[in-house]
């Protein structure tokens, strides 16, 4: 049975250097060390014209490769990563924010009770609600081509949720918010502003509340699967059941504190607006207010790295090197864990390259005092 079912609810974040070392092949564009078959598979997509197809903020080929990278960073099995490389579209979450947080608490207690005390209660509220859309034996859908009934197991549905999280994080920015009137940050696709001009203003998108809920539902599935395993152990049936796809490993993404937090939709909007004001107001008063704006942003949305990276530069400009190093490393770690940028005006690789410069300058206790000096910054 996959060990991911017994993971603690919140792991300590990795040191950014360890993450950087593990992700060097992606940052260098050296894909063969990741998987010797990967360059050939990408060549198949390229020959099919994926590089010519538009997709949200780039080409469809770029998007597919990005999804593979994110899933690989999240330590998903190779089969799941390859599914992401050739993916299409997936579904959404359905709980309210407060209900999800309550069910996350209850599910953690229930899983611990099952393992430590043998307490098994199928009538707990969170388990009953989870079984409504996703019964223990999976769901039956129609094959899109043949019309035949196909059973989709819980674990496969969980994999779809995982890939949906990667999918949303890679492709969405403020243009989708404008298209669908997503100004409350709940991503309910209520609007129909089809005349909105691409790419819009390039602000970070308001998609994080939605995928934090997906991550929470994903954890509920993992925990319920863990309790089901405990139930079977106690009746002598702990062997892997193939008809439930129990051989599929369900890994826990490091985002949203290992998917145990739901980002409030309102705070998501407020955090994004604080960040945007800090970034865009180049006046003297704006520069003076940048620190407070960015601190407010990171307090309301602590799950993205770019605001920390920008705050690190603010501290470097002020000669506050210890604080700059702390913020830069925190931002770098978060961006490495995501595997995709929140602020999509720059590529993920571009953000990582810039974020690597800042802690080094902080350690050196130096920062350029001229525009040409800043423009010349880089790593050898």
* Rg, the chain, Cα only: 22
Backbone φ/ψ region at 355: left (φ over 0), alpha (ψ -120 to 50), beta: alpha
Does the structure show a pLDDT above 70 at 280?
A: yes
pLDDT value at residue 330? 97
How large is the greatest C-alpha to C-alpha distance in the chain, in angstroms?
Answer: 72
Lowest mean pLDDT among 30-39, 162-171, 218-227: 30-39
**What's residue 124's pLDDT?**
92
Average the pLDDT over each of 24-28, 128-132, 218-222, 351-355 and give the range with the smallest value: 24-28
- Set out the domains of the chain in order of their start, with CATH numbers: 16-85 (no CATH), 91-259 (no CATH), 265-302+304-366 (1.25.40.10)
Structure tokens of 192? 């129909």
| 152: enclosing H helix or E strand | strand 149-152
Residue 151 per-residue DSSP state? E
Closest by alpha carbon to 280, among 296, 293, 266, 265?
293
Mean pLDDT value of segment 261-266: 96
Among 28-37, 118-127, 186-195, 300-309, name the one with the lowest average pLDDT: 28-37
- What pLDDT was estimated at residue 237? 64
Count Cα neighbours of 77 within 13 Å in the Cβ-side half-sphere: 13
CA distance 358 to 157: 40
What residues contact residue 340 under an 8 Å CB cut-off, 6+ apart? Answer: 66, 69, 70, 166, 169, 170, 348
pLDDT at 37: 87
pLDDT at 379: 62
For residue 8, pLDDT over 80 is answered with no
Segment (H or E) for 262: none
Provide the terminal-to-terminal Cα distance of the chain, rounded to the nearest Å: 45
d(CA 88, CA 82): 12
Q: What is the mean pLDDT of residues 314-331?
A: 97
- Residue 14 — very low, low, confident or very high, per pLDDT cuts 50/70/90? low
Q: Report the pLDDT averaged over residues 327-340.
A: 96
Q: Is the peptide bond before 325 cis (omega within 30 degrees of 0)?
A: no
Check whether the bond before 315 is cis (ω within 30° of 0). Answer: no
Pick from 216, 263, 225: which is nearest to 9 by CA? 216
Whole-number Cα distances in Å, 248 to 80, 138, 153: 9, 14, 10
Mean pLDDT check: name the lowest of 45-59, 161-175, 252-266, 292-306.
Answer: 45-59
Task: Report how far residue 86's alpha carbon sits from residue 65's, in angstroms, rounded to the nearest whole number.
Answer: 9
Q: For residue 104, which of 176, 9, 28 has the smallest C-alpha distance? A: 9
Q: Report the residue count for the chain.
A: 380
Q: Who wins on pLDDT, 29 or 278?
A: 278
Report yes or no: 341 and 335 within 8 Å, Cβ to Cβ. Answer: yes
Mean pLDDT of 169-196: 94
Q: Report pLDDT for 295.
A: 98
For every residue of 312-349, DSSP letters joined together read: HHHHHHTT-HHHHHHHHHHHHHHHHHHSS-SSTTS-HH
The residue whose two tokens read 């996959």 is 2
pLDDT confidence of residue 6 = 38
């Amino acid at each position: 049975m996959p060990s991911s079912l017994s993971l603690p609810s919140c792991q300590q974040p990795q040191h950014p250097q360890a993450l950087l070392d593990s992700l060097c092949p992606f940052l260098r564009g050296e894909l063969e060390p990741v998987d010797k078959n990967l360059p050939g598979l990408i060549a198949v997509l390229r020959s099919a014209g994926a590089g010519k197809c538009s997709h949200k903020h780039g080409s469809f080929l770029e998007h597919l490769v990005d999804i593979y990278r994110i899933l690989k960073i999240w330590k998903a099995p190779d089969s799941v990563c390859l599914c992401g490389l050739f993916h299409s579209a997936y579904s959404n979450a359905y709980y309210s924010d407060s209900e999800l947080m309550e069910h996350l608490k209850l599910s953690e207690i229930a899983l611990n009770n099952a393992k430590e005390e043998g307490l098994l209660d199928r009538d707990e509220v969170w388990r009953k609600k989870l079984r409504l859309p996703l019964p223990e034996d999976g769901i039956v859908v129609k094959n899109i081509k043949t019309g035949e009934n196909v059973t989709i197991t819980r674990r496969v549905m969980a994999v779809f949720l995982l890939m949906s999280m990667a999918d949303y994080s890679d492709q969405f920015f403020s243009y989708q918010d404008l298209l669908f009137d997503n100004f409350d940050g709940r991503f309910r696709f209520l609007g129909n502003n089809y005349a909105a001009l691409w790419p819009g203003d390039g602000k970070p998108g308001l998609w994080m509340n939605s995928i934090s809920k997906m991550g929470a539902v994903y954890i509920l599935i993992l925990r319920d699967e863990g309790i089901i395993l405990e139930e079977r152990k106690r009746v002598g049936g702990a062997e892997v059941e193939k008809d439930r796809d129990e051989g599929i490993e369900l890994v826990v993404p490091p985002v949203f504190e290992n998917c145990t937090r739901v980002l409030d939709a309102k705070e998501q909007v407020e955090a994004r607006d604080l960040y945007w004001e800090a970034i865009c107001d180049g006046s003297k008063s704006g520069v003076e207010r940048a620190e407070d704006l960015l601190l407010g942003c990171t307090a309301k949305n602590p799950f993205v790295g770019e605001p920390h990276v920008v705050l690190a530069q603010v501290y470097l400009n002020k000669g506050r090197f210890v604080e700059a190093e702390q913020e830069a490393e925190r931002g770098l770690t978060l961006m490495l864990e995501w595997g995709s940028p929140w602020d999509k005006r720059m590529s993920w690789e571009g953000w990582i390259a810039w974020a690597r410069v800042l802690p080094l300058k902080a350690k050196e206790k130096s920062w350029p005092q001229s525009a040409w000096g800043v423009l010349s910054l880089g790593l050898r």
